[in-house]
Amino acid sequence: MKPVRLLLSLAIAGLLLSGCASVSNTLDKLNPFSSSGPKPAKLIDFKPTAEVRNLWSASIGKAGNYTFVPAVVGSAVFVAGHDGSLSRIEDGRTVWKISTGHALSAGIGASSRLVVVGTPKGDVLAYAADDGKPLWQAKASSEVLAAPTVGDDGVAVRSGDNRVFLFDLVDGGRKWVYQRATPTLSIRGAGSPVFADRYLFVGFPGGRLVALSLQNGALAWEGTVAQPRGTTELDRVADIVAPPVVDGSQICAVAFQGKVACFDMGQGGALIWSRDLSSATGLALDGRYLFVTDDKGAVHALDRLTGSSLWKQDKLVNRGVSGPAVARGLVAVGDVEGIVHFLSREDGAFAARLKTDGTPVRGAIQALGSGFLVQTTGGSVSAIEAQ
């Protein structure tokens, strides 16, 4: 299964059988690893300007057809695999490791007290962060493809049928559910909800970023990141499948076959700026820049206040590049061969490169202290120090 996986209805399957050229072309665009698509760029040689090294590595279950991203809480790292493995790691030492007894499809949401994962059957499983003891189990309406989000107001879970649930932290009781219509065709994947500014923010198919009331799940405001365009259902896919990013009163999101846009939460979701840029992998925000990996694998740095382009690194095109993370003046992304590329924050030039286990880095890289945390589909988790 490829990093961007499509949920096709029987009607779309019929279109594929018809051999329609526009459908075929759009599928290649949606799937950068299509055998009929463009070949991955060859890696270029460069003189390293930064020093990176592997601080520690650990093994967890393979990802299977799903995307797993570690959770970082202080010095603790929580990791999970499709086979049901769940563990807590500190400074490379496994504090505890359990088998949940369930195949997992998403993980992990975590706080200092709680660790939460999801299953293909819609089960939401919560464990104690200090020792892995089972605490409660809840139920979503379909498979959980995005990591749950643990906040002070509850555990937010996004299910594959575009429902959003808020569960109680203590016992997993359902506090509310928000439902939105599902389009005929959408990308089989979803970004985790984000708690910020008294709301829960969620991106949806159709290019909409919504702010939900934490009290009852009511829609507080809605921002348009992208408008579906085109004549076919495939052309009109404009889904937000990466989590939005927040800093201060600014929240930014990006849509596949759409735009990247930033909104002012303090002004009721007023649009600050938007620009055409398509991504299904994600973005990162720091004090000056917004970093985005586009759907071809190019990494962009934009001015977070205006959206103007500052630099673009296009030498990783078609390499299945992950969402970015930024730390220590470097922007880190992974690729389909399990290679982590480090780019200069200031100009996008290659600064360093590090190999992992050779399997794809499907989920976004995470910042870990002054370094980075990477999980591959093969099940390796690596903490990388950068200088």
Residue 154 lies in a domain: no
Residue 259 lies in a domain: no
Q: How many CA atoms lie within 13 A of 247 on its CB side?
A: 12
Residues 380 and 323 in one domain: yes
Phi, psi of 297 (to 5 degrees): 105, 0
Alpha helices in the chain, H assignment, sequence order: 10-18, 21-30
- Specify the amino acid at residue 81: G
Whether the model clears a pTM of 0.85, i.e. scores above it, the answer is yes
Residue 172 lies in a domain: no
Residues 313 and 349 in one domain: yes
Residue 321 lies in a domain: yes
Give me the count of residues in the chain.
Answer: 387
Residues 348 and 366 in one domain: yes
**Tokens 């649009």, located at residue:** 271
The answer to whether the beta carbons of residues 73 and 368 sit under 8 Å apart is no
Residues 27 and 56 in one domain: no
Residues 1 and 62 in one domain: no
SS3 101: coil
Q: What is the CATH number of the domain that holds 335?
A: 2.40.128.630
SS3 25: helix
Residues 50 and 34 in one domain: no
- Please give the tally of structural domains in the chain: 2
Residues 319 and 374 in one domain: yes
Q: How far apart are CA 87 and CA 163, in angstroms?
A: 28
CA angle 325, 295, 249 (to 5 degrees): 50
Q: How far apart are CA 82 and CA 321, in angstroms?
A: 22
Q: How far apart are CA 241 and CA 251, in angstroms?
A: 15
Residues 328 and 374 in one domain: yes
**Tokens 């949606």, located at residue:** 30
Residues 9 and 45 in one domain: no
| CA nearest to 113, candidates 102, 91, 129, 100 | 129
The tens place of each residue's pLDDT in the chain, 387 residues long, gives: 333 333 333 233 333 222 333 333 344 444 444 445 678 999 999 999 999 999 999 999 999 999 999 999 999 999 999 999 999 999 999 999 999 999 999 879 999 999 999 999 999 999 999 999 999 999 999 999 999 999 999 999 999 898 999 999 999 999 999 998 877 776 777 789 999 989 999 999 989 999 999 999 999 999 999 888 777 888 778 899 899 999 999 999 999 988 999 999 999 999 999 999 999 898 999 989 999 999 999 999 999 999 999 999 999 999 999 999 999 999 999 999 999 999 999 999 999 999 999 999 999 999 998 899 999 999 999 999 998
Provide the domain limits for residue 313: 41-66+307-387
